[in-house]
Amino acid sequence: MEPSVDLARLPSLRHYLDSLSAAERRAALDRLAAFSPEDLSSLGVSEPQSVESDYRVEEIGGTIPAGLAGTLYRNGPGRWQDHTGRPLHHLFDGDGMLSAFTIDPAGVRYRNRYVRTAHFRGRSGVSHMGTAAPGGRRANIGRVPPNLANTNVVEHAGHLYALWEGGPPHEIDRDTLDTLGVRRFGGELRWLGTYSAHPSFCPSSGAMFNFGVELVPRPHLRIYRTDRSGRLRHFRSTPLPYAAMVHDFAITERHVVFLVSPIIPDAMAVALGRAPIGDTLRYRPERGSTFILVPRDGGKIRRIDHDPVLQFHLSNAFDDRGDVVVDAITYADGRMLERIARFHTSSLADAPSVFTRFRVSAAGRVSAEPLSEAPSEFPRHHPAHEGRPHRYAYVNTRTRLGAFYDSVTKLDLADRREFTYTADEPGNSFCEPVFTPRPGGVAEDDGWLLTVEYQAARQASRLVILDAADPTRGPLATAQLTGHVPQGFHGNFSARPA
């Protein structure tokens, strides 16, 4: 059954469908036929953005809150095709496109620019996460995905970095968004230079913690600490229980915390060119999960085996009277991996998530408690509560849509209450809500949530500013863009004056 979607409005999707084999195309069309009208209208967020812009936003709705000044930086794939126009299949395959929303007394200025990676500049014939290089098996032997710099953008010690977990950061000019080059921090990021896109920041020391997954000579984590002056040092390494995709981690005031999920690639298939790495990732629950607690002071590393858990993002963690508490977005099975691998035509509706709190005791016992069953992702919190006890988390949730997240929710983890704002128009979707503290604020929820809303009917996007204390009030202010921002991954706010 053909879907009732106007592919003329979605040329990238049409091009993707035309690139599939007959059997794959039938399966993709069958998936699209099951979409609701709202979900079909939401697909425009995955269309590429080919225009790089720099302009003052003319259409401001509401009133920008007094005290909110600085720049929201965001990163995510801007196009899912290589420079030859070849469609790319996996959610993680697109070239990184940075967006900057600078808020000042004059209003909002918007800029977007692609990271000038080697891939963006025209390197062809590479094997991506979910798209094999042309030329068959022989052309893919030993190939690793290119550094697309498409996952996060962070500021630390006066420098801005575009991050991608399979390679080193690209430094970005904070004002122009020009790419300044790849950074290996004096050789500390060796070989492939793997460096997670999810660093954690210590509120008291100003240090930035991060890690890389290295598979040679055996699977292990290489952990880094960058001090407030910007000096990066490798300070611990620890073995992994198996070759796993480790996407995120957390810190507490005493520990660096990992929850290793059994998301395992078929290394032999990748090495022999039989499949790209993203297509071989499988959830292997029989392997179980492992908590790894790395003392920040250099003490003995603890490993606690646990029941299988599938997660991509940890929300936060903290120490509690000898226990370590870890919050995460968890999934019951591996269906989310399948959705990510074929995201163009896949719904998230049958891959629900749970906001789960784990408690690891000093004796090595692990308990798990669901705190919210709202289907959620992209958790954020007040940056001053990083690694510390906290009451609130902010997430994207799904209310009407199955393909994307159409809501922003404040989770009260103490009272188990949820405060949700859902997009007014069908087919609209939101990216990750970034908590921005109010200057001088004391309460944990005193601040604003900055998110970008894709507007399906207009095929455009707008910056949305919500009250973090009560998102249900709806937008305090909006800044309407002339074009759209493709669905992104992560971003952060900088209070540095423009």
The three-state (H, E, C) secondary structure of the chain, written as one string? CCCCCCHHHCHHHHHHHHCCCHHHHHHHHHHHHCCCHHHHHHHHHHCCCCCCCEEECCEEEECCCCCCCEEEEEEEEEECECCCCCECCCHHHCEEEEEEEEEECCEEEEEEEECCCCCCCCCCCCCCCCCCCCCHHHHHCCCCCCCCCCCEEEEECCEEEEECCCCCCEEECCCCCCEEEECCCCCCCCCCCCCCCCCEECCCCCCEEEEEEECCCCCEEEEEEECCCCCEEEEEEEECCCCCCCCCCEECCCEEEEEECCEECCHHHHHCCCCCHHHHCEECHHHCEEEEEEECCCCCCEEEEECCCEEEEEEEEEEECCEEEEEEEEECCCHHHHHHHCHHHCCCCCCCEEEEEEEECCCCCEEEEEEECCCEEEEECCHHHCCCCCCEEEEEECCCCCCCCCEEEEEECCCCEEEEEECCCCCCEECCCEEEECCCCCCCCCEEEEEEEEECCCCEEEEEEEECCCHHHCCCEEEECCCCCCCCCEEEEECCCC
Q: Judge whether 119 is annotated as a binding position.
A: no
Per the CB < 8 A criterion, the answer to whether 391 and 411 are in contact is no
Q: Judge whether 234 is annotated as a binding position.
A: no
What is residue 3's predicted lDDT score, i.e. its pLDDT? 53
What is residue 170's predicted lDDT score, i.e. its pLDDT? 98
What is residue 419's predicted lDDT score, i.e. its pLDDT? 98
| CATH number of the domain enclosing 206 | 2.120.10.30
Q: Is residue 432 part of a domain?
A: yes
Q: Is residue 39 part of a domain?
A: yes
Q: Is residue 443 part of a domain?
A: yes
What is residue 288's predicted lDDT score, i.e. its pLDDT? 98
Nearest to 488 by CA among 13, 72, 182: 72
And the tokens for 65? 């809150």
Q: Judge whether 313 is annotated as a binding position.
A: yes
Rounded Cα–Cα distance for residues 409 and 315 (Å): 14
Question: What range defines the domain where residue 194 resides?
Answer: 7-495
Number of structural domains found in the chain: 1
What is residue 191's predicted lDDT score, i.e. its pLDDT? 85
pTM for this model (two decimals)? 0.96
Q: Judge whether 220 is annotated as a binding position.
A: no
Q: How far is CA 52 from CA 111, 162, 426, in A?
A: 7, 17, 28
What are 432-442's pLDDT values in tens digits?
999 999 999 99
Q: Is residue 2 part of a domain?
A: no
Q: Is residue 381 part of a domain?
A: yes
What is residue 323's predicted lDDT score, i.e. its pLDDT? 98
Residues of the chain with pLDDT under 70: 1-6, 124-125, 498
Q: Is residue 1 part of a domain?
A: no
Q: How many Å is the maximal CA-CA distance in the chain?
A: 60
Q: Is residue 121 part of a domain?
A: yes
Please classify residue 361 by burial: count the beta carbons closer than 10 Å to its beta carbon, then call 0-12 exposed, 13-18 middle and 19+ buried: middle
Per the CB < 8 A criterion, the answer to whether 356 and 371 are in contact is yes
Quote the distance between the C-alpha of residue 100 and its chain's center. Answer: 17
Rounded Cα–Cα distance for residues 129 and 77 (Å): 13
Q: Is residue 110 part of a domain?
A: yes
